[in-house]
Amino acid sequence: MSNAKAEPSIEQDPTVEDILQQMERILASSEFHSPERGRRFLQFVVTETLEGRSQFLKAFTIANEIFGRQSSFDAQNDPVVRIEAGRIRRALERYYLVAGQSDAIVITIPKGGYVPHFEYTCCLPPAHPSPDIPGQVGMPPSDHGRHRRSLWIAGLTISLLAIVALAGLNPLAKPSLFTLHRSVADRPSIDTAGPMVVVDMFQSDDPDGRASDIAQALRDEVIGQLATFNDIVVVADPSRANYASEVGYSLHGSVQRDGDKLRSILRLVRRSDAAVVWANNYDADLRVRSILQIQADIGQEIAIAIAQPYGAVFDNVARSVNEPAGTSDCTSEYYGYRRAMDLQSHNAALGCLQRATLLFPQSATSWALLSLIYIDSIRFRYKLGTAPDAGVMELAADAAKRATSIAPNDARTLEATMLVSFFNNDIDKALKAGAAAYAHNSNDAEVAGEYGLRLAMSGKWQSGCELISRALNKGAGPKGYYEVGMALCAFTRGDLQAAELWSRMCDLEYNPMHRLVLLSILGAEGKTVEAKQERDWLNANAPEMMKNIRREVSLRLHRAEDQELFLDGLRGSGISVETASAGTPGSN
């Protein structure tokens, strides 16, 4: 149901109280034909919007909240949310045609999203309902108001017919890939100094032009997929690259077609020295998959390989981040630090981000990464050797708020909000931010892994462990980071053998908390000799952590039963945890 009208209504927006009353009136009406699930859908999107959380209203979030879908929900392959939203739009349209003709407030859910729209239908705000007349909302609109409603409905019908007619001109037409699914405010500023990637024109050697069309469509797909990663800047016009001195990489591509066989050849070239830093070939059979599906699949694979936080761009930069002549931007420096995980690279990235936020205060990416690196100085302090500082979490929270004020729907902003909320014990807010970040870009392995860890450690082990496994398979995170998550996943389901194997695959020097996980597993297995070795190492290398075990565990595992399972393993290893109660954050 469109929110466009033949004439504009008043400039004033309806009040929250009036909107809630209108929603209850709709839900109570027998003319609102929607099942219970649809009613909960409508209530959810309306209340979330009124409470200022409209940026979280994505298909993934709604699927989790209303339909009970797990983290593996894929909006592309499971259209349940889109279908239900369509039903609600039709139900609302019928309600206003039949029972709500005199209502002073119209609630719609515009197509293309799930955020509801509210507006008055006549020239004055409604008075509050009379307690003596059920269902009354102020004065009914005048005949002129009804006439405008008729014009609005007629305009809606004409608009829908026009859309159908236009779509019928080209059944294979699809939306432009340059129209991204986020607002301009969500785009990273050019001042973020993120690595730039120029996508050159893709070539083909097909004389009849068929492969040429596929090549250009594939290029459009790749640009659209790359642009979902806000840590890089995508340049779609190669002719502009000569004027962009900061451009670091060019993506070259070609498409070859031989009958039903299709080969796409891609390579990423560093512009400073023409070195090929990444290359891959993609073969497809047109008898098995459609051209559109092939383009979508290849575009996604390329974007993940190149642009995710630990993809080719950042992996290449990370290897040279400590070279004396290097001038890496702060985004690259941050991911270089995350691979090295030492105090020197941490301080270098921290200083770079602090300067970046002063020079470019409207860079959401810089503020979000600054928040994350502040959090790291707390949760990884036993590895990094940073001193405990109660004010650092406040700095992290302030930086996350600044990022949110600039780009509230940005994946890195939401990741920062998630971690700040999690370590401040606001689990509901953390998981909502994580769900929104994952919905924004499910290809971002860093987001998927961190969200998976927060889900798992909040007690939602099945869905959380699925995401941790995906992040691990994509090579995300510092060495051993997600392996320890998999160890905990196996431990909580009682598979101690797998838990020990995963734990020993971690870089146990990376964080003493990883050794504490192994110690708990060994204790549960009754392996006293191996447990003593780990216990002696921890007492020698992390004595402060060993004095505050209960506190450290409770900061990560938020369900009492999960905490006790972990602590029971430690008791089995010979550790006394009953007197440990104070401490500060330290890992994961």
pLDDT tens column, 48-57 = 899 888 888 8
Residue 488 in contact with residue 495, Cβ under 8 Å?
Answer: no
Category of 425 on φ-ψ map: left (φ > 0), alpha (ψ -120 to 50) or beta? left
Residue 477 in contact with residue 318, Cβ under 8 Å?
Answer: no
Closest to 424 measured CA to CA, from 460, 400, 449: 400
CA 435 – CA 413 distance, rounded (Å): 13
The per-residue pLDDT for 560 is: 92
pLDDT at 332 over 50: yes
pLDDT, average across residues 14-34: 89
CA 378 – CA 386 distance, rounded (Å): 8
Q: What are the structural domains, with CATH classification, of the chain?
A: 16-168 (no CATH), 195-318 (3.40.50.10610), 329-432 (1.25.40.10), 444-588 (1.25.40.10)
Residue 232 in contact with residue 190, Cβ under 8 Å?
Answer: no
CA 194 – CA 172 distance, rounded (Å): 35
Least confident among 2-11, 65-74, 336-345, 399-408:
2-11
Name the band, by pLDDT with cuts 50, 70 and 90, for residue 494: very high
Most trustworthy range by pLDDT among 34-38, 332-336, 400-404: 400-404
Name the band, by pLDDT with cuts 50, 70 and 90, for residue 562: very high
Residue 70 in contact with residue 86, Cβ under 8 Å?
Answer: no
pLDDT at 44 over 50: yes
Residue 85 in contact with residue 38, Cβ under 8 Å?
Answer: no
The per-residue pLDDT for 240 is: 64
pLDDT, average across residues 26-47: 89
pLDDT at 409 over 80: yes
The per-residue pLDDT for 242 is: 53
The predicted model scores a pTM of 0.58
Percentages helix, strand, coil for the chain (3-state, rounded to 5) are 55, 10, 35
Q: What is the dihedral of CA 354, 359, 363, 369, to 10 degrees?
A: -10
pLDDT at 170 over 70: no
CA 378 – CA 393 distance, rounded (Å): 8
Strand segments (E) across 239-299: 247-258, 261-270, 275-285
Q: Which amino acid is at 62?
A: I
Category of 475 on φ-ψ map: left (φ > 0), alpha (ψ -120 to 50) or beta? left
pLDDT, average across residues 333-356: 88
Which residue is listed with tokens 């689990």? 427
Q: What is the pLDDT of residues 247-305, one digit of tens each?
A: 588 999 999 888 888 889 999 998 878 889 899 999 988 888 888 888 888 888 888 88
Least confident among 231-235, 494-498, 524-528:
231-235
Q: Which residue has the higher pLDDT, 481 or 390?
A: 481
Tokens standing for residue 441: 């870009």
CA 88 – CA 83 distance, rounded (Å): 9
Least confident among 139-148, 231-240, 405-414, 452-461:
139-148
The per-residue pLDDT for 584 is: 39
Residue 235 in contact with residue 190, Cβ under 8 Å?
Answer: no
Share of the chain above pLDDT 90, in %: 29
Q: Which residue has the higher pLDDT, 222 or 174?
A: 222
Closest to 311 measured CA to CA, from 280, 285, 289, 281: 280
pLDDT, average across residues 319-329: 39
pLDDT at 158 over 80: no
Name the band, by pLDDT with cuts 50, 70 and 90, for residue 206: low
Question: What count of Cα atoms within 13 Å lies in the side-chain half-sphere of residue 19?
Answer: 19
CA 280 – CA 286 distance, rounded (Å): 19
How much is the mean pLDDT over the chain?
A: 78
The per-residue pLDDT for 65 is: 81
Q: Give bridge partners of residue 253 from the DSSP assignment.
A: 266
pLDDT, average across residues 230-252: 72
The per-residue pLDDT for 528 is: 92
Which residue is listed with tokens 């209303």? 66
Tokens standing for residue 19: 């909107």
Closest to 283 measured CA to CA, from 271, 297, 269, 304: 297
- Cβ neighbours around 290 below 10 Å, total: 11
Do you know the residue count of the chain? 588
pLDDT, average across residues 415-432: 94
pLDDT at 15 over 60: yes
The per-residue pLDDT for 77 is: 65
The per-residue pLDDT for 227 is: 83
Most trustworthy range by pLDDT among 64-73, 244-253, 425-434: 425-434
Q: What is the pLDDT of residues 357-381, one digit of tens each?
A: 888 888 888 899 999 999 998 888 8
The per-residue pLDDT for 209 is: 63
Mapped onto helix, strand or coil, the DSSP state of residue 460 is: coil
Mapped onto helix, strand or coil, the DSSP state of residue 279 is: strand
**Distance of CA 102 to CAs 33, 86, 143, 316, 501, Å?**
18, 24, 10, 64, 67
**Distance of CA 15 to CAs 19, 120, 122, 531, Å?**
6, 10, 15, 62
pLDDT, average across residues 94-104: 81
The per-residue pLDDT for 191 is: 41
Name the band, by pLDDT with cuts 50, 70 and 90, for residue 534: very high
CA 515 – CA 394 distance, rounded (Å): 29
Name the band, by pLDDT with cuts 50, 70 and 90, for residue 207: low
Q: Which residue has the higher pLDDT, 555 or 527?
A: 527
pLDDT, average across residues 79-85: 82
Name the band, by pLDDT with cuts 50, 70 and 90, for residue 167: very low
Distance of CA 170 to the CA centre of its chain: 33
